[in-house]
Amino acid sequence: SQAPNAAEVKVFTPKFEDYQKVYDEIASRLEEKDDYDDGSYGPVLVRLAWHASGTYDKETGTGGSNGATMRFAPESDHGANAGLKAAREFLEPVKAKFPWISTSDLWILGGVVAIQEMQGPVIPFRPGRTDKDMSACTPDGRLPDASKGNRHLRDIFYRMGFNDQEIVALSGAHALGRCHTDRSGFEGPWTFSPTVVTNEYYKLLLNEKWNWKKWNGPKQYEDKTSKSLMMLPTDMALVTDKTLKPHVERYAKDEEAWFKDFSAVLLKLFELGVPFTESEQNRMVFKSSHSS
């Protein structure tokens, strides 16, 4: 047999173990860099993976996590993406250490790691995204506008191919993180444990009394009891809409049911529009740092 030439030697086909190494690197950076926000980059990593994916349009097949076009203006400057630079920069040293992974796979893997490390469900992962140039940037306006109501939510999420139950299951991500006045204009966290995945978001939506916050900022709700939590108008639409509310009630009662549905719907979100060569059977399930 012939000796391989230089080009052939360079080809590296990453395996499960290689992706687990990237997972572990992100997890250890999450633990190390605990001086950010509420003590974790986890929530903003989830938001990055969501905004990379949530541009998908099923009619045209455009947008979605394939491409990582948020690296470029104009997409990086879209109002909805304000503040996500922090998440992209958090992942840059990981890309430098593992240059074989595409940025678009890395952003989604970052979301998977964040969910699992914040004690959420396992999210199976399939690699295969490739980075595109700025000509693939999506137009502004594809991500949801928090000041709107149930009709807007359906317009946006049906465009991606989701149904009502999936809209509600996805929204529970707001158990995590917070709003920042210098990013979205809104202010405050949705729950008292913004760095742990729980079904508290649904419980609070149903069990708290929510009043309009009196302030000069954009219209948002505050809880009557502590006045330190918030809901967006789009969050409140989940309980004012008669078809959406039963799903909120089910997830508030049964965290296990939500974990199962949340995992399934995140997997779907993260795979929208990606031309995978790997089959669904070959999805990877990563070991979390806290699992034995």
Catalytic residue numbers?
51, 190
- Which residues lie below 8 Å from residue 67, measured CB to CB, with a gap of 6+? 104, 129, 130, 131, 132, 136
Q: In the window 84-143, what residues touch ligand ZEM (CB under 6 A)?
A: none
x/- mask, ligand ZEM, residues 22-51, rule CB under 6 A, reads: ---------------------xx-xx--x-
Q: Which residue has the tokens 């469900």?
A: 121
Q: In the window 240-259, what residues touch ligand ZEM (CB under 6 A)?
A: none
Q: CA-CA distance, 37 to 14, in Å (whole number)?
A: 34
Q: Burial letters for 11-23: b for 16+ Cβ neighbours within 10 Å, e otherwise?
A: eeeeeeeebeebb
**159 close to 205: Cβ distance less than 8 angstroms:** no
176 binds ligand ZEM (CB under 6 A): yes
For the chain, the maximum distance between any two Cα atoms, rounded to a whole number of angstroms, is: 77
Size of interface with ligand ZEM, in residues (CB under 6 A): 23
Smaller CB separation from ligand ZEM, 22 or 49: 49
Cα dihedral: 288, 167, 182, 230 (round 10) = -90
Q: Is 120 left (phi over 0), alpha (psi -120 to 50) or beta?
A: beta
Closest approach of Cβ 129 to ligand ZEM, in Å? Answer: 18
Closest approach of Cβ 144 to ligand ZEM, in Å? Answer: 4
Smaller CB separation from ligand ZEM, 21 or 152: 152
Q: How many other CB atoms are found less than 10 A from the CB of residue 240?
A: 11
First-residue to last-residue Cα distance in the chain? 45
For 246, the token pair is 């039963």
Smaller CB separation from ligand ZEM, 144 or 273: 144
Q: In the window 51-80, what residues touch ligand ZEM (CB under 6 A)?
A: none
Binder to ligand ZEM among 132, 183, 203, 268 (CB under 6 A)? 183
191 binds ligand ZEM (CB under 6 A): no
Binder to ligand ZEM among 179, 205, 231, 267 (CB under 6 A)? 179
Which parts of this chain interact with ligand ZEM (CB under 6 A)?
A: 43-44, 46-47, 50, 83, 144, 146, 153, 170-171, 173-174, 176-180, 183-184, 186, 232, 234
